[in-house]
Chain A
Amino acid sequence: MSIRLVRSLEAHTDKVWSVSVHNRLPLLATASSDKSCKIYDLTNGELVATLDDTHKRSARSVAWKPTGQEPSLACGSFDSTISIWGKDYDEWSLLAVIEGHENEVKGVAWSKDGYFLASCSRDKSIWIWEADDDNEEFECISVLQEHSQDVKHVVWSQYEDLLASSSYDDTIRLWKEDDDDWSCVAQLTGHEGTVWCSDFEKSETSTRLVSGSDDCTVRVWQRTDANDSEETWELQAILPQCHKRAVYSVSWSPSGRIASVGSDGQLVVYEYQSDQWEITHVQKLSHGVYEANSVQWCKPYAADDDNGTTTAEWLITGGDDGNVNVWSIS
Protein backbone atom coordinates (compact mmCIF):
# COMPACT_ATOMS: atom_id res chain seq x y z
CA MET A 1 0.00 0.00 0.00
CA SER A 2 1.37 3.34 -0.88
CA ILE A 3 0.52 6.98 -1.20
CA ARG A 4 1.91 8.79 -4.20
CA LEU A 5 1.67 12.38 -5.41
CA VAL A 6 0.24 12.13 -8.92
CA ARG A 7 0.23 15.80 -9.67
CA SER A 8 0.47 19.17 -7.99
CA LEU A 9 -1.51 21.99 -9.54
CA GLU A 10 -0.43 25.54 -8.77
CA ALA A 11 -4.01 26.61 -8.88
CA HIS A 12 -4.21 29.83 -6.88
CA THR A 13 -2.08 32.63 -5.52
CA ASP A 14 -3.77 32.44 -2.14
CA LYS A 15 -5.35 29.82 0.14
CA VAL A 16 -7.32 27.01 -1.50
CA TRP A 17 -10.32 26.60 0.80
CA SER A 18 -12.28 23.91 -0.95
CA VAL A 19 -12.05 21.26 -3.66
CA SER A 20 -14.86 19.35 -5.34
CA VAL A 21 -14.78 16.57 -7.91
CA HIS A 22 -17.72 16.00 -10.27
CA ASN A 23 -19.57 12.75 -9.65
CA ARG A 24 -19.45 11.60 -13.30
CA LEU A 25 -17.00 13.81 -15.18
CA PRO A 26 -13.23 14.22 -14.71
CA LEU A 27 -13.73 17.76 -13.50
CA LEU A 28 -12.16 19.32 -10.42
CA ALA A 29 -13.33 22.65 -9.02
CA THR A 30 -11.48 24.78 -6.48
CA ALA A 31 -12.38 27.81 -4.35
CA SER A 32 -9.80 30.27 -3.08
CA SER A 33 -9.12 33.38 -1.04
CA ASP A 34 -8.15 35.00 -4.35
CA LYS A 35 -11.94 35.32 -4.89
CA SER A 36 -12.00 32.91 -7.83
CA CYS A 37 -12.92 29.34 -8.58
CA LYS A 38 -10.99 27.25 -11.07
CA ILE A 39 -11.96 24.16 -13.01
CA TYR A 40 -9.37 21.56 -13.99
CA ASP A 41 -9.50 18.50 -16.20
CA LEU A 42 -8.36 15.63 -13.98
CA THR A 43 -7.25 13.45 -16.86
CA ASN A 44 -4.43 15.83 -17.79
CA GLY A 45 -4.34 18.47 -15.08
CA GLU A 46 -5.16 21.26 -17.50
CA LEU A 47 -7.02 24.38 -16.50
CA VAL A 48 -10.48 24.37 -18.08
CA ALA A 49 -11.92 27.61 -16.78
CA THR A 50 -11.40 30.39 -14.27
CA LEU A 51 -14.58 31.68 -12.67
CA ASP A 52 -13.83 35.15 -11.37
CA ASP A 53 -14.90 38.80 -11.36
CA THR A 54 -17.98 37.91 -9.35
CA HIS A 55 -17.23 37.60 -5.69
CA LYS A 56 -15.97 40.57 -3.72
CA ARG A 57 -14.39 38.42 -1.04
CA SER A 58 -12.95 34.91 -0.65
CA ALA A 59 -14.56 31.99 -2.44
CA ARG A 60 -14.97 29.65 0.53
CA SER A 61 -16.64 26.54 -0.79
CA VAL A 62 -17.50 24.89 -4.05
CA ALA A 63 -19.81 22.02 -4.96
CA TRP A 64 -20.71 20.34 -8.25
CA LYS A 65 -24.37 19.75 -8.94
CA PRO A 66 -24.76 15.99 -9.42
CA THR A 67 -27.43 16.26 -12.11
CA GLY A 68 -28.12 18.16 -15.32
CA GLN A 69 -27.10 17.65 -18.92
CA GLU A 70 -24.26 20.11 -18.65
CA PRO A 71 -22.03 20.38 -15.58
CA SER A 72 -22.77 23.19 -13.14
CA LEU A 73 -21.59 24.20 -9.69
CA ALA A 74 -22.30 26.43 -6.72
CA CYS A 75 -19.74 28.59 -4.98
CA GLY A 76 -20.27 30.15 -1.54
CA SER A 77 -18.34 33.28 -0.66
CA PHE A 78 -17.43 35.39 2.34
CA ASP A 79 -19.24 38.21 0.51
CA SER A 80 -22.47 36.50 1.72
CA THR A 81 -23.60 35.42 -1.75
CA ILE A 82 -23.65 32.14 -3.64
CA SER A 83 -22.80 32.07 -7.31
CA ILE A 84 -24.05 29.39 -9.70
CA TRP A 85 -21.94 28.60 -12.75
CA GLY A 86 -22.61 26.32 -15.65
CA LYS A 87 -21.30 25.18 -18.96
CA ASP A 88 -23.39 26.65 -21.69
CA TYR A 89 -22.41 26.06 -25.36
CA ASP A 90 -18.81 25.29 -24.35
CA GLU A 91 -18.61 28.51 -22.37
CA TRP A 92 -18.50 28.62 -18.59
CA SER A 93 -20.83 31.33 -17.46
CA LEU A 94 -22.41 32.80 -14.37
CA LEU A 95 -26.01 31.64 -14.20
CA ALA A 96 -27.20 33.22 -10.96
CA VAL A 97 -26.11 34.99 -7.82
CA ILE A 98 -28.14 34.06 -4.76
CA GLU A 99 -28.44 36.54 -1.94
CA GLY A 100 -30.00 36.02 1.43
CA HIS A 101 -27.40 35.22 4.05
CA GLU A 102 -26.51 38.06 6.32
CA ASN A 103 -22.76 37.46 6.21
CA GLU A 104 -20.05 34.96 5.19
CA VAL A 105 -21.33 31.87 3.41
CA LYS A 106 -19.14 29.01 4.56
CA GLY A 107 -20.56 25.94 2.90
CA VAL A 108 -22.69 24.89 -0.05
CA ALA A 109 -23.97 21.44 -1.02
CA TRP A 110 -26.41 19.90 -3.52
CA SER A 111 -28.81 17.13 -2.65
CA LYS A 112 -28.56 13.77 -4.42
CA ASP A 113 -30.92 14.66 -7.27
CA GLY A 114 -29.93 18.32 -7.53
CA TYR A 115 -33.34 19.56 -6.33
CA PHE A 116 -32.00 21.22 -3.22
CA LEU A 117 -29.06 23.45 -2.58
CA ALA A 118 -28.09 23.93 1.06
CA SER A 119 -25.94 26.81 2.24
CA CYS A 120 -24.62 27.75 5.67
CA SER A 121 -23.16 30.89 7.13
CA ARG A 122 -21.65 32.74 10.04
CA ASP A 123 -25.17 34.11 10.54
CA LYS A 124 -25.80 30.75 12.30
CA SER A 125 -28.36 29.65 9.75
CA ILE A 126 -28.68 26.99 7.09
CA TRP A 127 -30.82 27.84 4.07
CA ILE A 128 -32.35 25.29 1.79
CA TRP A 129 -32.98 26.49 -1.72
CA GLU A 130 -35.03 24.81 -4.37
CA ALA A 131 -33.35 24.87 -7.73
CA ASP A 132 -34.85 24.52 -11.19
CA ASP A 133 -33.28 22.45 -13.95
CA ASP A 134 -31.80 25.52 -15.62
CA ASN A 135 -30.12 26.77 -12.45
CA GLU A 136 -31.75 30.13 -12.96
CA GLU A 137 -34.39 30.19 -10.31
CA PHE A 138 -33.67 29.59 -6.67
CA GLU A 139 -36.33 29.78 -4.06
CA CYS A 140 -35.74 29.68 -0.33
CA ILE A 141 -37.82 26.89 1.11
CA SER A 142 -36.42 26.79 4.59
CA VAL A 143 -34.21 28.71 6.99
CA LEU A 144 -32.86 26.54 9.79
CA GLN A 145 -31.64 28.42 12.81
CA GLU A 146 -31.11 25.87 15.54
CA HIS A 147 -27.31 26.08 15.60
CA SER A 148 -26.22 28.53 18.28
CA GLN A 149 -23.09 29.60 16.37
CA ASP A 150 -21.43 29.83 13.00
CA VAL A 151 -22.33 26.92 10.70
CA LYS A 152 -19.12 25.74 9.05
CA HIS A 153 -20.13 23.04 6.62
CA VAL A 154 -23.09 21.22 5.10
CA VAL A 155 -23.25 17.89 3.26
CA TRP A 156 -26.09 15.77 1.86
CA SER A 157 -26.44 12.02 1.89
CA GLN A 158 -26.10 10.46 -1.57
CA TYR A 159 -29.01 8.15 -0.91
CA GLU A 160 -31.71 10.23 0.77
CA ASP A 161 -32.61 13.86 1.38
CA LEU A 162 -30.75 13.97 4.67
CA LEU A 163 -28.52 16.95 5.42
CA ALA A 164 -25.70 17.12 7.98
CA SER A 165 -24.35 20.44 9.27
CA SER A 166 -21.20 21.09 11.29
CA SER A 167 -20.84 24.08 13.57
CA TYR A 168 -18.67 26.31 15.71
CA ASP A 169 -21.09 25.36 18.50
CA ASP A 170 -19.23 21.98 18.63
CA THR A 171 -22.21 20.00 17.36
CA ILE A 172 -23.42 18.31 14.20
CA ARG A 173 -27.11 18.43 13.30
CA LEU A 174 -29.09 16.31 10.87
CA TRP A 175 -32.06 17.69 8.97
CA LYS A 176 -34.97 16.24 7.02
CA GLU A 177 -38.10 17.48 5.31
CA ASP A 178 -41.11 17.37 7.57
CA ASP A 179 -44.52 18.25 6.05
CA ASP A 180 -43.83 21.48 4.22
CA ASP A 181 -40.80 22.57 6.19
CA TRP A 182 -37.46 21.14 7.26
CA SER A 183 -36.56 20.24 10.79
CA CYS A 184 -33.70 18.96 12.88
CA VAL A 185 -33.97 15.21 13.42
CA ALA A 186 -30.79 14.65 15.43
CA GLN A 187 -27.99 16.48 17.18
CA LEU A 188 -24.57 14.85 17.59
CA THR A 189 -22.60 16.07 20.57
CA GLY A 190 -19.21 14.96 21.76
CA HIS A 191 -16.64 16.99 19.89
CA GLU A 192 -14.83 19.37 22.17
CA GLY A 193 -14.27 22.09 19.65
CA THR A 194 -15.59 23.49 16.39
CA VAL A 195 -16.75 20.76 14.02
CA TRP A 196 -15.28 21.78 10.70
CA CYS A 197 -16.59 19.16 8.33
CA SER A 198 -18.48 15.91 7.98
CA ASP A 199 -19.13 13.36 5.25
CA PHE A 200 -21.58 10.50 4.80
CA GLU A 201 -20.55 6.91 4.27
CA LYS A 202 -21.01 5.88 0.64
CA SER A 203 -23.29 2.96 1.36
CA GLU A 204 -26.91 2.25 0.62
CA THR A 205 -27.32 -0.14 3.52
CA SER A 206 -25.61 1.66 6.35
CA THR A 207 -25.89 5.33 7.28
CA ARG A 208 -22.81 6.68 8.98
CA LEU A 209 -21.13 10.04 9.19
CA VAL A 210 -17.48 10.95 9.72
CA SER A 211 -16.61 14.28 11.32
CA GLY A 212 -13.45 16.30 11.86
CA SER A 213 -12.98 18.90 14.55
CA ASP A 214 -10.85 21.55 16.16
CA ASP A 215 -10.38 19.05 19.00
CA CYS A 216 -7.98 17.19 16.62
CA THR A 217 -10.21 14.10 16.50
CA VAL A 218 -11.97 12.33 13.66
CA ARG A 219 -15.15 10.57 14.76
CA VAL A 220 -17.55 8.12 13.14
CA TRP A 221 -21.24 8.28 14.00
CA GLN A 222 -23.87 5.70 13.13
CA ARG A 223 -27.60 6.04 12.67
CA THR A 224 -29.27 3.34 14.72
CA ASP A 225 -32.90 4.32 14.45
CA ALA A 226 -34.96 6.69 12.32
CA ASN A 227 -38.49 7.81 11.69
CA ASP A 228 -39.89 10.85 9.90
CA SER A 229 -39.26 13.35 12.65
CA GLU A 230 -36.50 11.85 14.76
CA GLU A 231 -33.32 9.87 14.32
CA THR A 232 -31.03 8.20 16.82
CA TRP A 233 -27.33 8.51 16.15
CA GLU A 234 -24.52 7.07 18.22
CA LEU A 235 -20.81 7.66 18.34
CA GLN A 236 -19.32 4.52 16.86
CA ALA A 237 -15.63 5.28 16.98
CA ILE A 238 -13.01 7.91 17.56
CA LEU A 239 -10.47 7.18 14.86
CA PRO A 240 -6.84 6.61 15.93
CA GLN A 241 -5.34 9.95 16.91
CA CYS A 242 -2.86 11.34 14.43
CA HIS A 243 -3.60 15.03 13.92
CA LYS A 244 -1.90 17.45 16.25
CA ARG A 245 -3.97 20.44 15.26
CA ALA A 246 -7.48 21.14 13.98
CA VAL A 247 -8.94 18.70 11.45
CA TYR A 248 -10.42 20.83 8.68
CA SER A 249 -11.76 18.29 6.23
CA VAL A 250 -12.81 14.65 6.04
CA SER A 251 -13.96 12.47 3.16
CA TRP A 252 -15.39 8.93 2.98
CA SER A 253 -14.46 6.98 -0.13
CA PRO A 254 -16.73 4.62 -2.08
CA SER A 255 -14.47 1.72 -1.05
CA GLY A 256 -14.88 2.60 2.64
CA ARG A 257 -11.69 4.50 3.37
CA ILE A 258 -11.71 7.74 5.32
CA ALA A 259 -9.26 10.58 4.69
CA SER A 260 -8.61 13.65 6.84
CA VAL A 261 -6.48 16.78 6.53
CA GLY A 262 -5.88 19.71 8.81
CA SER A 263 -3.88 22.53 10.22
CA ASP A 264 -0.85 20.30 10.84
CA GLY A 265 -0.59 19.67 7.10
CA GLN A 266 -1.01 15.92 7.48
CA LEU A 267 -3.06 13.84 5.11
CA VAL A 268 -4.24 10.75 6.98
CA VAL A 269 -6.01 7.69 5.53
CA TYR A 270 -7.94 5.27 7.75
CA GLU A 271 -9.34 1.86 6.92
CA TYR A 272 -11.60 -0.48 8.79
CA GLN A 273 -9.60 -3.64 9.28
CA SER A 274 -10.42 -6.61 11.45
CA ASP A 275 -13.05 -4.89 13.55
CA GLN A 276 -11.30 -1.60 14.07
CA TRP A 277 -10.22 1.54 12.34
CA GLU A 278 -6.54 1.73 11.55
CA ILE A 279 -4.34 4.40 10.08
CA THR A 280 -2.99 3.04 6.80
CA HIS A 281 -1.28 6.11 5.36
CA VAL A 282 0.10 9.34 6.75
CA GLN A 283 1.43 11.96 4.41
CA LYS A 284 3.18 14.63 6.44
CA LEU A 285 3.59 18.11 4.97
CA SER A 286 1.04 17.39 2.27
CA HIS A 287 1.24 21.05 1.31
CA GLY A 288 4.73 21.78 2.61
CA VAL A 289 4.66 23.77 5.81
CA TYR A 290 1.23 25.11 4.89
CA GLU A 291 -2.11 24.02 6.29
CA ALA A 292 -4.34 21.66 4.30
CA ASN A 293 -7.97 22.78 4.16
CA SER A 294 -9.89 20.35 2.02
CA VAL A 295 -9.80 16.72 1.00
CA GLN A 296 -11.97 14.65 -1.32
CA TRP A 297 -11.82 11.14 -2.72
CA CYS A 298 -12.41 10.49 -6.39
CA LYS A 299 -11.89 7.72 -8.85
CA PRO A 300 -8.51 7.63 -10.63
CA TYR A 301 -8.51 9.36 -13.99
CA ALA A 302 -5.15 8.05 -15.18
CA ALA A 303 -3.28 4.79 -15.01
CA ASP A 304 -1.24 4.55 -11.84
CA ASP A 305 1.48 2.34 -13.22
CA ASP A 306 3.14 1.47 -16.51
CA ASN A 307 0.81 -1.45 -17.13
CA GLY A 308 -2.14 0.89 -17.29
CA THR A 309 -3.90 -0.69 -14.35
CA THR A 310 -5.97 1.52 -12.15
CA THR A 311 -6.63 -0.19 -8.88
CA ALA A 312 -6.08 2.91 -6.83
CA GLU A 313 -8.36 5.59 -5.49
CA TRP A 314 -7.40 9.22 -5.80
CA LEU A 315 -7.42 11.91 -3.19
CA ILE A 316 -7.53 15.60 -3.95
CA THR A 317 -6.26 18.06 -1.34
CA GLY A 318 -6.19 21.85 -1.27
CA GLY A 319 -3.93 23.95 0.95
CA ASP A 320 -2.91 27.38 2.10
CA ASP A 321 -0.04 27.28 -0.42
CA GLY A 322 -2.60 27.80 -3.18
CA ASN A 323 -1.90 24.33 -4.56
CA VAL A 324 -4.16 21.43 -5.30
CA ASN A 325 -2.49 18.06 -4.93
CA VAL A 326 -3.67 14.83 -6.50
CA TRP A 327 -2.68 11.69 -4.60
CA SER A 328 -2.99 8.06 -5.53
CA ILE A 329 -3.72 5.57 -2.75
CA SER A 330 -3.13 1.97 -3.74
Chain B
Amino acid sequence: MSEPINANPTVLDVNALPTRGEDHKQEKALDSQVQELLSLAIDHGVDSDVQSQAPSLLSDSEEQEDPIDPQEIFDLIAHISDPEHPLTLGQLAVVNLSDIKVIDSGNRDEMGEVIIKITPTITHCSLATLIGLGIRVRLDRCLPVRFRITILLKEGSHQSENQVNKQLNDKERVAAACENDQLLNVISKMLATCK
Protein backbone atom coordinates (compact mmCIF):
# COMPACT_ATOMS: atom_id res chain seq x y z
CA MET B 1 0.00 0.00 0.00
CA SER B 2 1.05 3.57 -0.49
CA GLU B 3 2.26 5.69 2.34
CA PRO B 4 -0.43 6.96 4.64
CA ILE B 5 -1.64 10.45 4.06
CA ASN B 6 -1.43 11.31 7.69
CA ALA B 7 1.70 9.58 8.91
CA ASN B 8 1.67 11.03 12.40
CA PRO B 9 -1.82 11.20 13.81
CA THR B 10 -2.53 12.20 17.37
CA VAL B 11 -3.57 9.12 19.27
CA LEU B 12 -5.74 9.06 22.38
CA ASP B 13 -5.24 6.49 25.10
CA VAL B 14 -8.00 3.89 24.93
CA ASN B 15 -8.58 4.34 28.66
CA ALA B 16 -9.29 7.99 28.16
CA LEU B 17 -12.20 7.33 25.81
CA PRO B 18 -15.63 7.95 27.22
CA THR B 19 -17.48 4.90 28.46
CA ARG B 20 -20.70 4.30 30.31
CA GLY B 21 -21.01 4.05 34.08
CA GLU B 22 -18.17 4.38 36.56
CA ASP B 23 -15.47 5.24 34.04
CA HIS B 24 -17.68 7.85 32.54
CA LYS B 25 -18.27 9.54 35.86
CA GLN B 26 -14.61 9.42 36.79
CA GLU B 27 -13.74 11.05 33.57
CA LYS B 28 -16.22 13.79 34.19
CA ALA B 29 -14.76 14.34 37.58
CA LEU B 30 -11.32 14.53 36.08
CA ASP B 31 -12.14 17.10 33.52
CA SER B 32 -14.83 19.59 34.21
CA GLN B 33 -14.34 21.21 30.81
CA VAL B 34 -15.19 17.97 29.05
CA GLN B 35 -18.18 17.67 31.29
CA GLU B 36 -19.34 21.09 30.31
CA LEU B 37 -18.93 20.32 26.63
CA LEU B 38 -20.85 17.10 26.94
CA SER B 39 -23.68 18.73 28.82
CA LEU B 40 -24.00 21.32 26.11
CA ALA B 41 -24.18 18.84 23.31
CA ILE B 42 -26.31 16.13 24.74
CA ASP B 43 -30.01 15.96 25.30
CA HIS B 44 -30.27 15.90 29.06
CA GLY B 45 -33.29 13.71 29.20
CA VAL B 46 -31.38 11.03 27.37
CA ASP B 47 -28.19 11.51 29.32
CA SER B 48 -29.87 10.96 32.65
CA ASP B 49 -30.92 7.52 31.53
CA VAL B 50 -27.48 6.00 31.96
CA GLN B 51 -28.27 3.54 34.71
CA SER B 52 -30.80 1.54 32.72
CA GLN B 53 -29.90 -1.75 31.08
CA ALA B 54 -28.77 -1.49 27.48
CA PRO B 55 -31.62 -2.86 25.39
CA SER B 56 -31.27 -5.21 22.50
CA LEU B 57 -31.07 -2.75 19.66
CA LEU B 58 -33.04 -4.74 17.18
CA SER B 59 -35.76 -5.78 19.59
CA ASP B 60 -39.10 -5.83 17.84
CA SER B 61 -41.13 -7.24 20.66
CA GLU B 62 -42.38 -4.14 22.38
CA GLU B 63 -43.60 -0.81 21.17
CA GLN B 64 -41.70 1.24 23.69
CA GLU B 65 -37.99 0.70 23.78
CA ASP B 66 -35.43 2.46 25.85
CA PRO B 67 -34.33 5.45 23.84
CA ILE B 68 -30.93 5.29 22.22
CA ASP B 69 -28.39 7.69 23.68
CA PRO B 70 -25.17 9.18 22.29
CA GLN B 71 -22.99 6.83 24.34
CA GLU B 72 -24.59 3.87 22.58
CA ILE B 73 -23.91 5.46 19.22
CA PHE B 74 -20.36 6.22 20.30
CA ASP B 75 -19.84 2.62 21.40
CA LEU B 76 -21.08 1.40 18.02
CA ILE B 77 -18.71 3.52 15.98
CA ALA B 78 -15.67 4.27 18.18
CA HIS B 79 -14.18 0.86 17.49
CA ILE B 80 -14.30 1.16 13.72
CA SER B 81 -10.71 1.04 12.43
CA ASP B 82 -9.16 3.85 10.51
CA PRO B 83 -8.55 2.62 6.94
CA GLU B 84 -4.92 3.74 7.11
CA HIS B 85 -3.86 3.16 10.69
CA PRO B 86 -4.17 0.20 13.03
CA LEU B 87 -6.12 2.51 15.31
CA THR B 88 -9.80 3.10 15.92
CA LEU B 89 -11.82 6.20 15.11
CA GLY B 90 -12.25 6.71 18.84
CA GLN B 91 -8.50 6.63 19.46
CA LEU B 92 -7.90 9.05 16.65
CA ALA B 93 -10.66 11.34 17.94
CA VAL B 94 -12.35 11.19 14.54
CA VAL B 95 -15.54 10.46 16.47
CA ASN B 96 -16.19 12.17 19.78
CA LEU B 97 -19.01 11.64 22.20
CA SER B 98 -19.66 15.36 22.38
CA ASP B 99 -20.27 15.48 18.63
CA ILE B 100 -23.08 12.93 18.65
CA LYS B 101 -26.65 14.10 18.95
CA VAL B 102 -29.65 11.80 19.25
CA ILE B 103 -33.32 12.63 19.09
CA ASP B 104 -35.35 9.59 20.04
CA SER B 105 -38.57 8.96 21.90
CA GLY B 106 -37.90 5.27 22.13
CA ASN B 107 -41.18 4.63 20.33
CA ARG B 108 -40.67 2.09 17.58
CA ASP B 109 -43.34 3.77 15.48
CA GLU B 110 -41.81 7.21 15.60
CA MET B 111 -38.86 8.39 13.62
CA GLY B 112 -35.67 9.17 15.46
CA GLU B 113 -32.64 11.08 14.43
CA VAL B 114 -28.90 10.69 14.88
CA ILE B 115 -26.51 13.48 13.93
CA ILE B 116 -22.81 12.78 14.07
CA LYS B 117 -20.04 15.22 13.37
CA ILE B 118 -16.75 13.64 12.52
CA THR B 119 -13.30 15.21 12.61
CA PRO B 120 -10.99 13.86 9.93
CA THR B 121 -7.38 13.68 11.09
CA ILE B 122 -6.11 16.18 8.54
CA THR B 123 -7.96 18.75 6.52
CA HIS B 124 -7.20 17.38 3.09
CA CYS B 125 -7.77 13.76 4.04
CA SER B 126 -9.34 12.20 0.99
CA LEU B 127 -10.43 9.29 3.14
CA ALA B 128 -13.07 11.35 4.89
CA THR B 129 -15.78 9.97 2.61
CA LEU B 130 -14.62 6.43 3.28
CA ILE B 131 -14.60 6.92 7.04
CA GLY B 132 -18.03 8.52 6.89
CA LEU B 133 -19.33 5.67 4.79
CA GLY B 134 -17.96 3.14 7.29
CA ILE B 135 -19.81 4.90 10.10
CA ARG B 136 -23.01 5.01 8.09
CA VAL B 137 -22.84 1.33 7.20
CA ARG B 138 -22.18 0.42 10.83
CA LEU B 139 -25.18 2.42 12.05
CA ASP B 140 -27.47 1.29 9.23
CA ARG B 141 -26.74 -2.27 10.23
CA CYS B 142 -27.10 -1.79 13.97
CA LEU B 143 -29.70 0.87 14.61
CA PRO B 144 -33.46 0.30 14.42
CA VAL B 145 -34.95 1.39 11.10
CA ARG B 146 -36.73 4.36 12.65
CA PHE B 147 -33.51 6.36 12.72
CA ARG B 148 -32.50 8.90 10.13
CA ILE B 149 -28.75 9.25 10.27
CA THR B 150 -26.93 12.43 9.32
CA ILE B 151 -23.15 12.38 9.17
CA LEU B 152 -21.35 15.68 8.82
CA LEU B 153 -17.77 16.79 8.90
CA LYS B 154 -17.07 19.04 11.84
CA GLU B 155 -17.06 22.65 10.74
CA GLY B 156 -13.65 23.74 9.53
CA SER B 157 -12.17 20.27 9.69
CA HIS B 158 -11.98 19.64 5.98
CA GLN B 159 -11.22 21.47 2.78
CA SER B 160 -14.20 20.16 0.88
CA GLU B 161 -16.65 19.96 3.75
CA ASN B 162 -19.82 20.61 1.77
CA GLN B 163 -18.90 18.20 -0.96
CA VAL B 164 -18.16 15.38 1.47
CA ASN B 165 -21.28 16.11 3.52
CA LYS B 166 -23.42 15.98 0.42
CA GLN B 167 -22.02 12.64 -0.64
CA LEU B 168 -22.23 11.08 2.83
CA ASN B 169 -25.89 11.97 3.15
CA ASP B 170 -26.99 11.06 -0.35
CA LYS B 171 -29.05 7.94 0.16
CA GLU B 172 -28.62 6.79 -3.40
CA ARG B 173 -24.86 7.25 -3.52
CA VAL B 174 -24.54 5.37 -0.24
CA ALA B 175 -26.79 2.55 -1.45
CA ALA B 176 -24.79 2.21 -4.65
CA ALA B 177 -21.50 2.30 -2.75
CA CYS B 178 -22.74 -0.52 -0.56
CA GLU B 179 -23.09 -2.68 -3.66
CA ASN B 180 -19.48 -2.10 -4.66
CA ASP B 181 -17.54 -5.19 -3.61
CA GLN B 182 -14.18 -3.48 -3.49
CA LEU B 183 -15.56 -0.80 -1.26
CA LEU B 184 -17.39 -3.31 0.91
CA ASN B 185 -14.14 -5.21 1.44
CA VAL B 186 -12.45 -2.10 2.71
CA ILE B 187 -15.40 -1.33 4.96
CA SER B 188 -15.60 -4.88 6.31
CA LYS B 189 -11.97 -4.54 7.37
CA MET B 190 -12.74 -1.25 9.05
CA LEU B 191 -15.71 -2.76 10.87
CA ALA B 192 -13.89 -5.97 11.85
CA THR B 193 -12.62 -4.35 15.05
CA CYS B 194 -16.11 -3.43 16.24
CA LYS B 195 -17.24 -5.21 19.37
Contact = CB atoms under 8 A, between A and B. Distances in A.
Q: Do the two chains touch directly in the complex (Cβ atoms below 8 Å apart)?
A: yes
A72 B108 CA distance: 40
Given A57-B179, A58-B179, A289-B111, A263 B148 contact: yes
B129 to A, nearest CB: 14
B175 A290 contact: no
Given A264-B111, A289-B109, A289-B111, A152 B172 contact: yes
A78 B108 CA distance: 31
Nearest to A290: B145
A219 B170 CA distance: 20
A78 B110 contact: no
Contacts of B146: 289
Interface size class of A (residues with CB under 8 A): 20 to 34
Contacts of B175: 15, 33, 58, 78
A200 B162 CA distance: 30
Interface in B147-195: 148, 166, 170-173, 175-176, 179
Given A104-B176, A122-B176, A168 B108 contact: no
Interface residues of B, number: 15
A195 B132 CA distance: 22
Nearest to B107: A289
Given A78-B179, A168-B166, A289-B146, A150 B111 contact: no
A291 B176 contact: no
Interface string A151-164: 01000000000000
Q: Which of B108, B146, B172 has the most CB of A within 10 A?
A: B172
A288 interface: yes
Interface string A51-80: 000000110100000000000000000100
A122 B173 CA distance: 9
A238 interface: no
B172 A106 contact: yes
Interface string A288-305: 111100000000000000
A248 B173 CA distance: 13
A263 B171 contact: yes
Most B Cβ at <10 Å: residue of A103, A168, A245, A289: A289
Contacts of A263: 148, 171
Contact of A194 (B148, B170, B176, B179): B170
A291 B108 CA distance: 15
Contacts of B166: 168, 193-194
Contacts of A214: 170
A291 B109 CA distance: 13
A78 B148 contact: no
A265 B111 contact: yes
A285 interface: yes
Interface string A255-272: 000000001110000000
Nearest to A122: B176
Contacts of A150: 173
Interface string B105-143: 000111100000000000000000000000000000000
B110 A289 contact: yes
Nearest to B163: A149
Interface in A116-169: 122, 150, 152, 168
Interface of B: 108-111, 145-146, 148, 166, 170-173, 175-176, 179
8 closest residue pairs by CB, A with B: A289-B146, A57-B179, A104-B176, A78-B176, A289-B111, A78-B179, A289-B145, A290-B145
11 contacts: A58-B179, A78-B179, A104-B176, A106-B172, A194-B170, A245-B148, A248-B171, A263-B171, A289-B110, A289-B145, A289-B146
Given A60-B172, A289-B110, 12 more contacts: A33-B175, A58-B175, A78-B176, A103-B176, A106-B172, A193-B166, A194-B170, A248-B171, A263-B148, A285-B109, A289-B111, A291-B148
